[in-house]
Amino acid sequence: MEFGQFGGAYLPPYLLTAIKEVEDAYNKFKDDPAFIEEFKDLLNTYAGRPSNLYFAKRLTECLGGAKVYLKREDLNHTGSHKINNVIGQALLAKRMGKKKLIAETGAGQHGVATATVAALLGLECEIHMGAVDVEKQALNVYKMQLLGATVVSVQEGLRTLKEAVDSALIKWSTEHESMFYLIGSAVGPHPYPMMVRDFQKVIGIEIKEQILKLENRLPDYVIACVGGGSNAIGAFFDFIPDPTVKLIGVEALGKGLDTNLHAATMTLGQTGVIHGMKTKVLLDDKGEISPVYSISAGLDYPGVGPEHAYLDEIKRVTYFGATDEEAVQAFEYLTLIEGIIPAIESSHALAYAISLAKTLPKDQIIVVNLSGRGDKDVKHIARFRGFEIVD
Ligand SMILES: *Cc1c(COP(=O)(O)O)cnc(C)c1O
């Protein structure tokens, strides 16, 4: 297994050829200087890297404790860290001679990111989405169509993400000669968790360079939100060998751990198999995958990337949570104090960082990975606070 007892590729036989082909290609190109150069070039010229490491001076003063820095992934093209990964995988697809990208999406963020790189690289794009989500996310559906993607509305079962995954996988298995399956987080069967981490580790590499320049030392904490875990593993990876740097992942506690409305996979999950990987999974009494909930569409996932399950087991990363209410308060606070509207996903990491910073002496340094911008969330936050914005 790739990550201690976690990882692997638990797949039905009809997908084994398709996945083997991705693994071979990843092994062939991951250390290829021309491939790495092309990836770096697009990260810089298209995505806008390196993203700033910003010292949040007013936030730090207001909290009265540790210095807080924000890694500004929200400033990337399309507004989050997701662009790093989709560029990497789409370039690999091209090297493999694929004509088409296929992906599934729930809230639509990953679908839009995938459609974006398809447009950039002149690839066809097919996004599978549950019919219920298609209805709820009309704006993202229209964006994907503007970007040239075909959106397939999946009518099976509960007509949400799970059915969209099944539908996209079946389609891929029948047409993998021409299609590349593009996964949106550090999850799924090997080699995806490792590959997505490799495309996202630029975040931590940049943080290290930037903080050494600004402070002449490593940070004491790096904090990131965890859904599938791609922004977090991207921010953490380069710091894993540095024992003085404490790494903290923050997951979504939704309405609270004492309710069934949360996505606390690291806190309450058990070892199991989901989406082709062995990892921590939230299971119900019958041993079935639990329905999950969070105010944040990016964090309501009943599994987690297998590398996080491993880093938890070896105690290199510590995992905490933040509730909807705590995340919304952090969202409002950062907006008010710094003039930065964070994604509601990132606001979970911020919520934990804010409470931690207050308890620490002034010479400590915290870096929070601001995984995305919050423009997409404003309407939803208004509703959470009890008023409806009609446009
Ligand atoms: C998708 C998303 C996430 C959650 O995904 P990870 O793979 O856990 O990083 C977090 N933040 C933002 C802004 C997202 O769009």
Q: What is the mean pLDDT of residues 72-80?
A: 98
The answer to whether position 226 is within a domain reads yes
Report how far residue 199's alpha carbon sits from residue 185's, in angstroms, rounded to the nearest whole number: 11
Rounded to the nearest 5 percent, the helix, strand and coil shares of the chain are 50, 20, 35
Pairwise pLDDT comparison (107 vs 206), residue with the higher score: 206
Question: Is residue 188 domain-resident?
Answer: yes
Read off the tokens for 275.
Answer: 């989406």
Beta-carbon contacts of 340 under 8 Å, excluding residues fewer than 6 positions away, are 70, 74, 334, 370
Question: Is residue 191 domain-shared with residue 289, that is, in the same domain?
Answer: no
Does 97 share its domain with 22?
yes
Which residue has the least CA distance to atom 14 on ligand 1? 298
- Give the predicted TM-score (pTM) of the model: 0.98
CA dihedral 91, 92, 97, 101 (to 10 degrees): -80
**Is 139 part of a structural domain of the chain?**
yes
pLDDT value of residue 158: 87
Residue range 174-179: mean pLDDT, rounded: 96
Instruction: Say what the pLDDT of residue 162 is.
Output: 87
* Residue range 369-391: mean pLDDT, rounded: 95
Instruction: Examine the pLDDT at 391 and tell me if it is beyond 90.
Output: no
One domain, residues 210 and 324 = yes
Same domain, 150 and 238: no
Check whether residue 165 and residue 20 sit in a common domain. Answer: yes
- Record the tokens describing residue 91, joined without a space: 């370039």
34: CB partners within 8 A, 6+ apart = none
**Beta-strand pair 365-370/221-225:** parallel
Same domain, yes or no: 325 and 208: yes
- Best residue among 82, 192, 198 to mutate for probing ligand 1's pocket (most ligand atoms within 8 Å of CB) is 82
Please tell me whether residues 243 and 364 are part of one structural domain.
yes
Ligand 1 pocket: which residues have CB below 6 Å?
80, 82, 109, 185, 225-232, 298-299, 343, 345-346, 371-372
**Does residue 254 surpass a pLDDT of 90?**
yes
**To test ligand 1's pocket by mutation, which of 185, 202, 203, 378 has the most ligand atoms within 8 angstroms of CB?**
185
Mean pLDDT of the region 199-217: 98
The rounded distance, in Å, linking the Cα atoms of 45 and 66 is: 34
Structural domain total, the chain: 2
Q: Name the residues annotated as catalytic.
A: 82, 104, 371
Ligand 1 atom index nearest CA of 346? 11
Cα dist. 113→76, 77, 101, 280, 303 in Å? 12, 10, 11, 26, 21
Phi, psi of 299, rounded to the nearest 5 degrees: -110, -5
Same domain for 34 and 115? yes
251 and 118 in a single domain? The answer is: no
- The sign of the torsion formed by the CA atoms of 110, 304, 262, 104 equals positive
Q: Are residues 66 and 141 in the same domain?
A: no
Same domain assignment for residues 277 and 175: no
Residues 237 and 138 in one domain: no
Give me the domain span that covers residue 75.
48-79+201-384
Two tokens, residue 53:
């490491």
The CATH number of residue 144's host domain is: 3.40.50.1100
How many angstroms separate the most distant Cα atoms in the chain? Answer: 58
The SS3 call for residue 8 is: coil
